[in-house]
Amino acid sequence: MQGFGDAFAAAFGLIVGLDADLVEIVGLSLAVTLSATVLACLIGFPLGALLAVGRFPLRGALTVLVNALMGLPPVVVGLVVYLLLSRAGPMGALGLLYTPTAMIIAQTILVTPIIAALTRQIVADLDAEYHETLRSMGAGAGARMATLLWDGRLALMTAALAGMGRALAEVGAVMIVGGNIDHVTRVMTTAIALETSRGELALALGLGIVLMILSLALNALVMGARVSAARMAHA
């Protein structure tokens, strides 16, 4: 095993030299994560808004369920998606197992409840302020939801970024449904796990540093979006 200092030096070398393997893994990670986040936003934003302003049977139960699903164990999601996509499963004919698409599906399932639950809270808070005005204008449920989602757009960005952070750091589900296949489904988290187990610390550390930088950047964006949202609320 390399020494700690040697490993760090080699890791920085890989990053600065834009090592082909490292770039490929980071690129795939971002593609999978961004795709899953976009899909989760497309589902989570309207679902959260519906839970916030809709009046329908079982709304309370659905809200509890979405909140509970925020803590879904990734390996369980991985297992369920694996069973669905495996050859004997109901969606086996699609041949998606061990592909980036399978990883996107698993991450979308993990991230959607987070985005939906945060959206519900953001839209409910805004609705408390807008409710009487929009009702007096005769706005229907659809117009109300659209208005609240648009006016809460900066706060909703924090929800999307929080979901993206979760997807980026996730390892269990993508390992199960992606298989960590070199040049096909290997992403940062699964590569770090593999390289560490093999004692190849340089690539693991290099990926870990990139992952940390991305995580910090995401958190900075979340903070910036929160500040902008607070400023916009009073603007």
Of 49-78, binders to other proteins (CB under 8 A) are none
Number of residues counted as binding other proteins (CB under 8 A): 17
Q: Does 227 bind other proteins (CB under 8 A)?
A: no
Is 128 a binding residue for other proteins by CB under 8 A? The answer is: no
CA pair distance 70, 63, nearest whole angstrom? 11
Helix (H) or strand (E) holding 81: helix 74-85
138 binds other proteins (CB under 8 A): yes
Contact criterion met (CB below 8 Å) for 64 and 117 = no
* 235 lies in the site for other proteins, by CB under 8 A: yes
Q: Of 9, 38, 143, 181, which lies in the binding site for other proteins, with binding defined by CB under 8 A?
A: 143
Q: Does 151 participate in binding other proteins (rule CB under 8 A)?
A: yes
Report whether 28 contacts 183 (CB < 8 A).
no
Determine which residue in the list 101, 147, 189, 190 makes contact with other proteins, applying CB under 8 A: 147
* Residue whose CB is less far from other proteins, 21 or 151: 151
Would residue 179 be called left, alpha or beta, if left means φ above 0 and alpha means ψ between -120 and 50 degrees?
left
Site for other proteins in 156-185 (CB under 8 A): none
Which of 102, 42, 187 minimizes the C-alpha distance to 94? 102
List CB contacts of 158: < 8 A, sequence separation 6 or more. Answer: 118, 222, 225, 226, 229
- Smallest separation (angstroms) from other proteins to the CB of 26: 36
Which stretches of the chain bind other proteins, using CB under 8 A? Answer: 129-130, 132-139, 143, 147, 151, 232-235
